[in-house]
Chain A
Amino acid sequence: MDKIIKDFKRYFIDQGFDAIETDHERRGFHLEVVLDVNQVRKFAETAYELGFYLVFVAGLHVRPDEENDNGNSGLEVVYQFARYDRPYRVKARASVPKNLNISSISDIYHGADWHERETRDLFGVIFDGHPNLKPLLLSEEDVNFHPLLKEEAKLKTLHEVSWSPETPKSDPDKPERKPKDSLTQ
């Protein structure tokens, strides 16, 4: 099975995507792909050709990297793909630029239509080329209300919410809040 995962990985890399293998036991998926914002459609087409189905599209709000400004808004779009015949799960992630626009994949994966509308509702990401980007879960009046955007104080950088490559259990040096604060009050 590992061989086929490696084949997929090699294929993705040949196509120009940045794919790395991940530990399924620990993380729940086999491959992680980091996409450039204009690679999203090409990746979706590749995944569709390889027989993957779309599990979900979700957003993630992090603090943009202030030191080296790369033009990102801090919003990330996470795609997950899996296959019907064998347990291969692929996570793809793309950073949304400051104009909040990212290509829609709803014409490749028709199921992405609702997932993208939901991500627009909750995060305000605009999916270019989506035929009907109206509010789905939220009401029509709440078109500019995005409940999953975090407050400035609660934002963390992408680095702070990513696995550290060498030691998985390493915690940041700041102490954990005592349980008293969070549970019994």
Chain B
Amino acid sequence: MLESEYQEQNRFFLNMGPQHPSTHGVLLIVLEMNGEYVLDPQPVLGFIHRMHEKMGESRPCPGFMPNTARMDYVCALPYNHGYVSLIERKAGIEVPRRAEYIRVITSELNRIASHLLWLGAYLLDLGAFTPILYGFDDREHILDILESVTGSRLTYCYYRFGGVYQDIDDKFVEATRAFIKRLRKRYVIYEKLVTQNIIFIKRTENIGIVSPDMALRYGITGPNLRGSGVAYDVRKNEPYSVYPEFDFEIPVGEQGDCLDRYMVRVREIEQSLRIIEQALDRLPDGPVRSKVPKTIKLSPGDCNFAVEAARGELSYYLVGDGTSTPYRLKVRVPSYSNLSCLPELGRGILLPDLVSILGSFDLVIPEMDR
């Protein structure tokens, strides 16, 4: 048998997903394989497509608030934040400072919860079972804290145009401070359990390298971009809310492999803790909601608002026509652009490495499919 015929016989297609555990949701990747090597991975999206943009265009703008949390359900508060800020920018609504502080505190708590869940789930993908138990244990504390003010544990609808739904109390502040103290102690455990683990390092180092040029071509943002050494964070680059008042750093990686993306997220947790600490120390008094007209008119014209969600840059683009219903609402979600580089990144690698790359991208499928 000729070598080429032999190669041809070894070629086959493999459907990874939509039920595969390491796709974390209903994502299908059609893989053209040669033995254990991936020749061409093609993601197939749309299994959980709900047409959120159409829903946004068919009802007055407050009605879209619950939808925002149902895109990225793991880190929903930045999605709330982007949408209320968009409408506030469009309608010229002022937000009390206390409300902005509460938004930042709760958004950052949510970001930490998202990173902790990712950390556990990623390690689970790589075959380590224990970290997810630790991750869930810590995340549970955040969910309890957020539940006490927002009323929900996952799909929050806490922010309102011109403020937040309700004020935080001393109990919330106490619990948050206790949590910060607790999580800093837990770093040691994570360090010993995961970061120094040789199997983990072998599965992530030099795998799935995203170069800054590749990131630019695909519009990759968030920790996936910062892993490649580009310090781009909307909170710093295009500051919104009260973020300019806080002192925090943007962790970056060096070469953009899976290990760098892991390290960036772990170090981001500490930066989020720092922001929360400063915000709690300087929490101003005052109202948490300003007077807002019952019907918010969206003046004719377009308007954009970008925020940093846990997975990257989230942009809302709205076109108003003078009524209270948006004429057009576009949601730019980070995971969508982040995953679009997979066909290039996953060519010629081993199947287990593809699982490692997918995990390191921190995908949330309902966010991509919208």
How many angstroms from the CA of A122 to the CA of B232 in the assembled complex?
30
A160 to B299, CA, bound (A): 10
Chain A residues, Cβ within 8 Å of B166: none
Interface size of B as a range: 35 or more
Contact indicator A78/B327 (Cβ below 8 Å): no
A114 and B340 in contact, given A160-B322, A162-B301 (Cβ under 8 angstroms): yes
Could you tell me the distance in whole angstroms from the C-beta of B345 to the nearest C-beta in chain A? 11
In the complex, what residues of A have CB within 8 A of residue B370's CB? Answer: 137
Asked if A137 meets B300 with Cβ closer than 8 Å, knowing A51-B216, A176-B323, A179-B294, the reply is no
CA distance A174 to B317 in the complex (A): 25
Residues of A within 8 A of B323 (CB): 176-177
Interface segment, one of A2-10, A12-20, A85-93, A95-103: A85-93
Instruction: Tell me which residues across on chain A come within 8 A of B57, comparing CB atoms.
Output: 148
With contacts A87-B238, A148-B53, A148-B54 taken as known, whether A55 is within 8 angstroms of B319 at the C-beta atoms is: no
B288-316 at interface with A (beta carbon < 8 Å): 294-295, 297, 299-306, 313, 315
Chain A residues lying within 8 Å of B325, measured Cβ to Cβ, are 182
In the complex, the answer to whether B46 meets A161 with C-beta atoms within 8 Å is: no
Q: Given that A56-B317, A111-B219, A137-B369 are contacting pairs, would A171 and B302 also be in contact in the complex, using a CB cutoff of 8 Å? A: no
Chain B: minimal CB distance from A156 (Å): 5
Known: A53-B219, A110-B340, A160-B322. A80 touches B300 (CB 8 A): no
Does any Cβ of A come within 8 Å of B140's Cβ? no
- CB within 8 Å for A58 and B313 given contacts A84-B225, A137-B370: no
Q: Which residue of B lies closest to A155 (CB)?
A: B327
Task: Determine the chain B residues whose CB is within 8 A of the CB of A163 once the complex forms.
Answer: 299-302
Nearest A residue to B86 by beta-carbon distance? A28
Cβ-defined contact, B300 with A164, below 8 A: yes
A53, B220: Cα distance in complex, Å:
9
Of B54, B238, B304, the contact of A27 (CB 8 Å cutoff): B304
Given that A137-B45, A138-B46, A182-B324 are contacting pairs, would A55 and B60 also be in contact in the complex, using a CB cutoff of 8 Å? no
Q: Known A27-B304, A139-B46, A169-B299; judge A86-B330 contact (CB<8 A).
A: no
| Residue of A whose beta carbon sits closest to that of B214 | A110
B301's partner among A27, A56, A61, A177 (CB-CB below 8 A) is: A27
Q: Determine the distance from Cα of A60 to Cα of B92 in the docked complex, in whole angstroms.
A: 24
> Does B51 reach chain A (CB closer than 8 Å)?
yes
Cβ-defined contact, B327 with A161, below 8 A: yes
Q: Are A28 and B297 in contact (CB under 8 A)?
A: no
Taking a contact as CB atoms closer than 8 A, the residue among B86, B319, B324, B341 that contacts A60 in the complex is B319
| Smallest CB separation, A67 vs chain B (Å) | 19
Residues from chain A with Cβ under 8 Å of B306 in the complex: 28, 55, 82, 89
- Whether A111 contacts B341 by the Cβ 8 Å rule is yes
Chain A to chain B contacts (Cβ below 8 Å), 22 pairs: A26-B89, A26-B303, A28-B303, A53-B217, A55-B315, A58-B332, A80-B317, A84-B216, A85-B237, A87-B237, A89-B304, A109-B217, A111-B341, A137-B49, A137-B369, A148-B53, A156-B321, A160-B300, A161-B301, A164-B300, A169-B92, A176-B295
| A interface list, Cβ under 8 A from B | 25-29, 48, 51, 53-56, 58, 60-61, 78, 80, 82, 84-87, 89, 91, 109-111, 113-114, 122, 135-139, 147-148, 156, 160-164, 168-169, 171-172, 176-177, 179, 182-183
- Contacts A137-B45, A137-B46 supplied; 8 other A-B pairs, CB < 8 Å: A53-B217, A78-B330, A109-B217, A139-B46, A161-B301, A162-B302, A163-B300, A177-B323
